[in-house]
Amino acid sequence: MILHERSARELLRDLEAGALSAVDATTAFLEAIRHRDPKVKSFLHVDEAGALALAAAVDARRRRGEPLGPLAGVPVAVKDVLCTRGLRTTCGSKILARFVPPYDAHVIERLRAADAVIIGKTNMDEFAMGSSNENSAFGPTLNPWDLERVPGGSSGGSAAAVAASLAPRALGSDTGGSIGRPASLCGIVGLKPTYGRVSRYGLVAFASSLDQVGIFSHDVGDAALLLETIAGHDARDTTSVDQPVPRYAANVDQPVQPLTIGVAREFFGAGLDPEVEKAVRAALDVYRQQGATIKEISLPNSVHAIAVYYIVATAEASSNLARYDGVHYGHRADRFDSLIHMYSRSRGQGFGPEVKRRVLLGTFVLSSGYHDAYYVKALKVRRLIKNDFDAAFAQCDVIMGPTTPTAAFRLGEKSADPLQMYLSDIYTISCNLVGLAGISVPCGFTQAGLPIGLQILGAPFSEEKLLRVARMHEAATDWHQRRPRL
């Protein structure tokens, strides 16, 4: 495999052995970005100078025999929703087009401490609101497997960058499937950790009770290594949980035995593309062949997940996004004749249509007179969905199904119908509503050559088991070694 198509662990091995310098590795990825990203459009800004400087520093320290971090010298791409000190962080929005944070997100600090090379910031749906990456104010990212199709959203830039081998791994964020969905559509591994596993400090909020930082990589081992780096308690995020971080990467090759896999009938209903279903059933056979027990389960309330999600998420978003008002930072309209006018013009110009739609929805469901009928009821149903999953995890180790109902769709195919677009989130949303851990791994291709993803859901804080289960499939298949030809 050519250098930039290799996994992060393979690169690390060569770097540690002295067979490769961090500058050469970084240069290879910067070259790849220069040549191929104009087609994919996965990066919003590439920090060439910063990346090369970091790489050179790693090389110098290695030459001097100084200790280095566990990710030393390997590039990483970062979704533009994570704050990077001194590096523009736009959230894919015009309203933050010129925003340069004076602080690093917790996960960025962890990456820097591990001596990873932050190569650039990736494209995304505006404020992570979207399923296709078409809602970026800076234009859509395209699917490296078919440039006429979407990469999935909202972390589409990060997923496409890894799929196109423009970065060996990337950070994204997930509020309702924004890791799993693009990972599935781009044919790579996407890991969404349990809510509270990774600090949200510096992750620009969409819906605070659902948001979580996640990982994209070519394989499960790389995801395990990166999770080990970014997971853990952070005093600045009181919702981050103080639990020890297991040695995910060291244990990932151990199969889980015995293994009981729950298959929810609700995840195989109407709307599921037959090609996707076939690939997922084949993946279940891979597990069966390794001695796993497949158990049919039911998650009756999961059918309400989308309704609940679009109430809870928009309610929180309407409040979280109130701060973008043109007063203290971000876009401010040129002309206005009153304070209210300044607010409405700045926000009217700065936000795109999907963000406006969700802010309006969220404001409505929290309004006096509707609050109980929508918001309070949604919280109750959220609890019922959680109860379903609690009961399911009492009977099985993991729950498997398709990550998305279809493979990548064409650009513009669903943008005229927001509801159709929302329905593509149907399998991934419960993971956020309940606060589970989830992973999507490549499990096949459609006739048209589009990747298909297998979703594996685990109980809260079961990442170690989840990664080992995912690795069992990966070890028996070679889907993860395919690369798109651009």
Partner 1 sequence: MNPALPAGVQIVVGLEVHVQLLTQTKLFCGCPTKFGLPPNSATCPVCTGMPGVLPVMNRRAFDLALRAALALGAEVASFTKWDRKNYYSPDLPKNYQISQYDLPFSSVGGLEITTAAGTKFIRLIRVHLEEDAGKMLHDEGGQRRDSLVDLNRAGTPLLEIVSQPDMASPEEAKAYLEELRLLLRELRISDCEMQEGSLRVDANVNVRIPLAGRMVPTPIVEIKNLNSFRAVERAIVYEARRQHEEYQRTGVDMQAGAKTTAGWDDARGVTVIQRRKEEASDYRYFPEPDLVPVVVDAAWLERIRQELGETPAQRRARLRSEYGLPAYDAQVITAQGHAFADYFEAAARASGDAKATANWCTNEVLQLLNDRKITIAECPVPPAAIAELVAQVKQFSINKPKAREVFAQMLATGKPPTALVQELGLNQAMDTELLRGLVQKAIAGNPKAVADVKAGKTKAMDALVGPIMRETKGKAPTEEIRRLMQEELSKS
Annotation says 21 is catalytic? no
Which of 41, 79, 192, 414 is catalytic? The answer is 79
Radius of gyration of the chain (CA): 21
Pick from 172, 94, 178: nearest CA to 136: 94
Q: Please, which residue, 42 or 84, has the CB nearer to partner 1? A: 84
Q: Are 457 and 436 in contact (CB under 8 A)?
A: yes
Q: Please, which residue, 52 or 366, has the CB nearer to partner 1? A: 366
Minimal distance in Å, beta carbon 201 to partner 1? 5
Q: Are 479 and 449 in contact (CB under 8 A)?
A: no
Instruction: Give yes or no for residue 406 binding partner 1 (CB under 8 A).
Output: no
Q: Which residues contact 267 (CB under 8 A, 6 or more apart)?
A: 299, 302, 401, 402, 427
Annotation says 79 is catalytic? yes
**Angle of helix 305-320 versus helix 353-366 axis, rounded to 10:** 100
- Across the strands, what pairs with 451? 445
Stretch that binds partner 1, among 163-171, 175-183, 230-238, 402-410 (CB under 8 A): 230-238
Instruction: Give yes or no for residue 343 binding partner 1 (CB under 8 A).
Output: yes
Annotation says 154 is catalytic? yes
Which of 154, 155, 173, 462 is catalytic? The answer is 154
Instruction: Give yes or no for residue 313 binding partner 1 (CB under 8 A).
Output: no
Q: Which residues contact 440 (CB under 8 A, 6 or more apart)?
A: 179, 180, 181, 183, 184, 189, 190, 403, 453, 454, 455, 456
Stretch that binds partner 1, among 5-13, 246-254, 274-282, 315-323 (CB under 8 A): 315-323
Minimal distance in Å, beta carbon 328 to partner 1? 5
- CA–centroid distance for 220 within its chain: 14
Q: Are 81 and 194 in contact (CB under 8 A)?
A: no
| Separation CA 367–CA 189 (nearest Å) | 40
x/- site string to partner 1, residues 319 to 338, per CB under 8 A? Answer: x--xxxx-xxx---------
Stretch that binds partner 1, among 290-298, 300-308, 313-321, 421-429 (CB under 8 A): 313-321
Instruction: Please pick, from the candidates 257, 293, 298, 367, the single residue that binds partner 1 as defined by CB under 8 A.
Output: 367
Instruction: Please pick, from the candidates 207, 223, 408, 441, the single residue that binds partner 1 as defined by CB under 8 A.
Output: 207
Backbone angles phi, psi at 439, to 5 degrees: -140, 145
Q: Which amino acids are annotated catalytic?
A: 79, 154, 178
Chain positions contacting partner 1, by CB under 8 A: 81-83, 89, 91, 96, 99, 101-103, 105, 200-205, 207-209, 235-239, 315-316, 318-319, 322-325, 327-329, 339, 343, 363, 366-368, 371, 375
